[in-house]
């Protein structure tokens, strides 16, 4: 009777490799586009490159310069008038929008932030409408269409201002794995 010894070293190696790769893919993300308004001081010249902001002001500042109304870093953009808009530059291959916002203490429940997406910057579809805006800082994470190439944020103000910061447009890559195990004989079989 001949004893067969199975070499499990190769299989164990592939299993460990699979776990390492799979785990890194689960937590990986690609930030496609982002701004934190770090250099924004209420002028058109300080708008983040490629972005468009419809209301810029230094006299009644269109930004907050305090930690109370900023996300990770000072300053943040201040939606301070009705129908103020922010447009992103073009982007590709994204599926998630994240941003931080905080309403002033007197923000009305009727004030809202509408988010539109477009594949061509001409035809817009409202993808999200956020009412009951928070009066404590909150990070929103929203899905966006795979065909979206532009986003537009529109503040519908009835009363109160909205701090807006730390915008990220992210791609979380699809996770696929196709592993096969081959039996490799090392030595006598």
20-39 tens-digit pLDDT: 455 544 557 899 999 999 99
Q: Which residue has the tokens 């992103």?
A: 88
Q: In this predicted model, what pLDDT tens digit does every residue of 159-177 receive, in sequence order?
A: 999 999 999 999 987 644 4
Q: How far apart are CA 38 and CA 31, in angstroms?
A: 17
What's the pLDDT at 151? 98
Arithmetic mean of pLDDT, 93-105: 96
The answer to whether residue 183 scores a pLDDT higher than 50 is: no
Q: What is the average pLDDT across 93-118?
A: 96
- Sheet of 150-156: strands edge to edge? 52-53, 84-87, 150-156, 112-118, 125-130
Arithmetic mean of pLDDT over the chain: 86
pLDDT band for position 179 (cuts 50, 70, 90): very low
Query: 182's torsion region: left (phi>0), alpha (psi -120 to 50) or beta?
Result: beta
Average pLDDT over residues 53-67: 97
Q: What is the 3-state secondary structure (H, E, C) of 101-131?
A: EEECCCCCCCCEEEEEEECCCCCCEEEEEEC
Cβ contacts of 24 within 8 Å, gap of 6 or more = none
pLDDT for 173 equals 79
Q: What residue has token string 């269409």?
A: 145
Q: What is the pLDDT of residue 144?
A: 94
DSSP 108: -
Which 8-state DSSP code applies to residue 55? -
pTM of the model: 0.79
Residue 95 has pLDDT above 80, yes or no: yes
**What is the reported pLDDT for 184?**
39
Confidence check: pLDDT of 178 > 50: no
Average pLDDT over residues 177-185: 40
Whether pLDDT at 89 is above 70: yes
């Amino acid at each position: 009777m001949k004893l067969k010894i199975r070499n499990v070293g190769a299989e164990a190696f592939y299993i460990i490799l699979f776990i390492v790769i799979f785990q890194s893919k689960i937590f990986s993300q690609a930030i496609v586009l982002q701004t934190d308004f770090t250099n924004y001081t209420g002028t058109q010249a300080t708008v983040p490159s490629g972005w468009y902001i419809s209301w810029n002001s230094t006299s009644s500042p269109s930004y907050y310069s305090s930690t109370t109304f900023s996300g990770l870093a000072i300053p943040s953009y201040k939606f301070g008038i009705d129908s103020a808009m922010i447009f992103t530059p073009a982007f590709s291959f994204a599926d998630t929008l994240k941003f931080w916002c905080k309403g002033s203490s007197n923000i009305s429940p009727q004030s809202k932030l509408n988010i539109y997406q477009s594949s061509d910057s001409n035809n817009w579809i409202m993808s999200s409408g956020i009412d009951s805006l928070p009066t404590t800082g909150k990070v929103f994470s929203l899905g966006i269409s795979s065909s979206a190439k532009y986003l537009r944020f529109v503040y519908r103000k009835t009363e109160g201002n909205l701090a807006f910061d730390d915008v990220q447009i992210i791609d979380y890559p699809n996770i696929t794995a196709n592993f096969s195990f081959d039996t490799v004989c090392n030595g006598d079989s």
